[in-house]
Structure 1
Amino acid sequence: MASNVYFADIRTNSKSNNLLSKLSELFTKAGFLDLVDKDDLFAIKLHFGEEGNNAFIRPIFVRKIVEEIKKLEGKPFLTDANTLYSGSRSNSIDHLNTAIANGFGYSTVLAPLVIADGITGKSFTEIKIEGEHFSSVKIGSEIINADGMISLAHFKGHEMTGFGGAIKNVGMGLGSRSGKQMMHATVEPEIIDEKCIGCGLCKKWCSQDAFIIDQISKINLGKCIGCGECVVTCPTDAISVQWDDAPIAIQERMAEYTLGVVKGKEDKVGYINFVLDVSPVCDCCGWSDHPIVNDIGILASKDPVALDQASADLVNQQEGHRNSALKSNFESGKDKFRGVHPEVDWTAQLVHGEKIGLGSRDYELIKID
């Protein structure tokens, strides 16, 4: 059975029909009014953006969702879990400071910020699931304690999963640091010696001190946890992933973590994808490259699989930007994510998500004015 996905395009023509008002209408049309009960502790899961990144969701959009939840007498809070890599969000202190610096302070969003897995990323609850990779998953405890959740995902390309949308925002985003390591367990980077210039950025970015710089970089795979951040940090593309089945496995594990996050609150979760500033790589990077397509709009659904499928389809229907990271597939109808990350079959997260009961790839796209 097809799931409903509601879509508001980027075009606006009046003060009463701007993107904020369209977001409110999406909230209503998608059935999110039924998610929130009085006094619910209601999580809004988003990515606050790495220091130096500017493609993350605008705080004014987040405030609109806060306002909608408050109208229903819920108690909203913004949340994310700490990162596996050593950027500006690997512990709660740096994470909160980064969020505030990027515009997510209370005075702007009108809701408190709570990091889901504690100060050092070790506060998690183990949730039993029936997955192919996991029988239990380690989820940030504060999201487990929430009564419900709205996922706000910036839909963009991703170096390990092809794209990042609702499934990645929830599954990878709310896994504890040890949970993230479990999801990345199949990823092993390798150095292309002739491309390496020995600049040391990989060593600086690595949270496990797995790199040695001796004219060129060398990796101690015994220390590597497979987070993949060195791959996008390298300025000369000298670090690649020994792909094999790594992209498939990480996507399937991510979908199973999403299943764990929503377990017990399946009827209290909604998902919104912002298909704006569709950057080629994750917002975990400390920069934002040119979007690969024009801005498209905002989509909402109670089904994360259908939502991500619809978002990907809309991106692929666009003409690609030739002055972007796209290497191929510029034409309308061609796969833009494979045009940036040709080794990654991004459908794996959707196929596995459907298989484990997370949602359906079949959808009906319902456009709102």
Structure 2
Amino acid sequence: MERAKVYFTDFRTRIGVSLPEKLQKLVRRAGIGEIDMDGKFVAIKLHFGELGNISYLRPNYVRALAEVVKELGGKPFLTDCNTLYPGSRKNALEHLYCAEVNGFNPMTTGCQTIIGDGLRGTDDIAVPVRNGEYFQEAYIGRAVMDADIFISLTHFKGHEATGFGGTLKNIGMGCGSRAGKMQQHNEGKPHVIPELCRDCKRCAKECGSDAISYESGKAYINQEICKGCGRCIGACAFDAIENNTEGAFAILGRKIAEYSQAVCDGRPCFHVSLITDVSPNCDCHGENDAPILPDIGMLASFDPVALDQACVDLCLKAEPIRNSQLGDNLAKPDWQHHHDHFLDSNPNVHYRETLEHGEKIGLGMREYELLRL
């Protein structure tokens, strides 16, 4: 079987050539022009970043991609769906405000923004999941599915629940409506290790369901209220919160793959991922810690599984940054080394299951050929 093709270029440029221009060269070389976009609506799915977080992708890259789409006759728009947690993107009005404050507007990007699941996160459509083992149908933002063509533009980074936030995370979790996100997050619930809790109350500030209270100076998570989103795990600086269900993160990853299948199946899709500002946690946080790895490059492919696999492989070959969450962990004399940058940064995560399941259900393949520009 022929391997999937993944195109790669680093962030080096010569005088007179900008990085957005280099991105345009990459996507053209990767074959975006093979898609018939003439007069078609083209959804560009990306993460606008939480207010306070500055590791999300710059709007300059979005504009570069949108310009290529328009040159091909397409009608691009930017999209993302609302969040479960309280942050600054939980409804369309706040989401659009957040996007504009973070620099995403028609002047900077060259296209409009449509929040995929509507004002309250309830405007969704049930989409069949081909070969699904966890879902027969997925709840996807209606505007995402109304598009004729789907393009994902991803900031590749670490993640406190899924190991890394890549193309499949951007598509599967990102395109799920609020009901869809609930469906993916309902497997496991975190719990507090009392002897490690310092009563800093940071976890409660991140909780999207008001499930965390404080009893006798220690955090307590109400399992009946908790949505299982895992933001408290990433918020805790003392490793005092862990997932309560064995294998929950592995199951979450497989569910994300199935939601990605629902979004992509049956229509033209193209995927771009930038390995830059590789923060240890998701861009959903209102802050971003120092990168755990150096900037590596830009990648593009028609295959989302191969693209994520290629990004993982490049990251695992990179040298960790000492002054980072990953570097701090590796420097601990009693650290149990995983010899895996994502597991050594967030040791309770599972990520390979996402890639394996994506391949199993026919979303893409893990075997790829890396073509360097």
**Conserved in 1, the CA contact under 8 Å of 2:191 and 2:241?**
yes
**Conserved in 2, the CA contact under 8 Å of 1:36 and 1:69?**
no
Counterpart residue number, 1:319: 319
Residues 320-358 of structure 1 deviation map (CA, whole Å, 9 limit, x = unaligned): 11211112399xx94211111222231111100000000
Greater Cα shift, 196-205 or 41-50: 196-205
1:244-259 matches, within 5 Å, as: 244-259=246-261
Whole-angstrom CA distance in 2 between matches of 1:328 and 1:111: 43
Give the TM-score normalised by the residue count of structure 1.
0.95
Residues 8-60 of structure 1 deviation map (CA, whole Å, 9 limit, x = unaligned): 111111213x3222111111111111224221111110000011101101100
Whole-angstrom CA distance in 2 between matches of 1:102 and 1:187: 32
SS where residue 254 of structure 2 aligns? helix
Counterpart residue number, 1:38: 38
Counterpart residue number, 1:261: 263
Q: 1:36 to 1:102 in 2, by over 3 A?
A: farther
**Conserved in 2, the CA contact under 8 Å of 1:47 and 1:56?**
yes
Counterpart residue number, 1:133: 134
**Conserved in 2, the CA contact under 8 Å of 1:243 and 1:343?**
no
Whole-angstrom CA distance in 1 between matches of 2:239 and 2:115: 33
Q: 1:343 to 1:205 in 2, by over 3 A?
A: closer
Residues 86-136 of structure 1 deviation map (CA, whole Å, 9 limit, x = unaligned): 111111111110110000011111111100001111111001123011111
Q: Which amino acid aligns with 1:169?
A: N
Counterpart residue number, 1:355: 360
Counterpart residue number, 2:123: 123
Whole-angstrom CA distance in 2 between matches of 1:115 and 1:305: 25
Whole-angstrom CA distance in 1 between matches of 2:235 and 2:51: 14
Whole-angstrom CA distance in 2 between matches of 1:281 and 1:367: 28
Whole-angstrom CA distance in 2 between matches of 1:334 and 1:194: 28
Whole-angstrom CA distance in 2 between matches of 1:122 and 1:358: 26
Q: Which amino acid aligns with 2:352?
A: T
Counterpart residue number, 1:48: 48
Whole-angstrom CA distance in 2 between matches of 1:296 and 1:123: 37
Counterpart residue number, 1:98: 98
Q: Which amino acid aligns with 1:161?
A: T
1:298-309 matches, within 5 Å, as: 298-309=298-309
SS where residue 28 of structure 2 aligns? helix
Whole-angstrom CA distance in 2 between matches of 1:148 and 1:345: 31
Aligned residue pairs, count? 363
Q: Which of these residues, 334, 341, 344, is aligned with residue 336 of structure 1?
A: 341
Q: 1:329 to 1:66 in 2, by over 3 A?
A: farther
SS where residue 73 of structure 2 aligns? coil
Whole-angstrom CA distance in 1 between matches of 2:256 and 2:23: 27
1:197-276 matches, within 5 Å, as: 197-214=198-215, 215-265=217-267, 268-276=268-276
1:206 Cα deviation after fit:
2.2
Whole-angstrom CA distance in 1 between matches of 2:330 and 2:304: 28
1:243 Cα deviation after fit:
4.9
Counterpart residue number, 1:11: 12
Q: 1:236 to 1:329 in 2, by over 3 A?
A: closer
Whole-angstrom CA distance in 2 between matches of 1:14 and 1:367: 20
SS where residue 328 of structure 1 aligns? helix
SS where residue 330 of structure 2 aligns? coil
Whole-angstrom CA distance in 1 between matches of 2:39 and 2:134: 36
* 1:164 equivalenced with 2:136 (yes/no): no
Residues 146-192 of structure 1 deviation map (CA, whole Å, 9 limit, x = unaligned): 01111000000111111111100000100111111111111211112
Counterpart residue number, 2:335: none
Give the TM-score normalised by the residue count of structure 2.
0.94
SS where residue 298 of structure 1 aligns? strand
Whole-angstrom CA distance in 2 between matches of 1:80 and 1:26: 24
Whole-angstrom CA distance in 2 between matches of 1:344 and 1:299: 24
1:242 Cα deviation after fit:
2.2
Q: 1:204 to 1:335 in 2, by over 3 A?
A: closer
1:238 Cα deviation after fit:
2.5
Whole-angstrom CA distance in 2 between matches of 1:163 and 1:343: 12
1:271-286 matches, within 5 Å, as: 271-286=271-286
Whole-angstrom CA distance in 2 between matches of 1:128 and 1:90: 25
Unaligned 5+ segments in structure 1 are none
Identity of aligned residues (%): 45
SS where residue 15 of structure 1 aligns? coil
Q: Which amino acid aligns with 2:147?
A: A
Runs ≥4 residues deviating over 6 A: none
Residues 200-221 of structure 1 deviation map (CA, whole Å, 9 limit, x = unaligned): 3333332222122233221110
Whole-angstrom CA distance in 1 between matches of 2:269 and 2:15: 31
SS where residue 69 of structure 1 aligns? helix
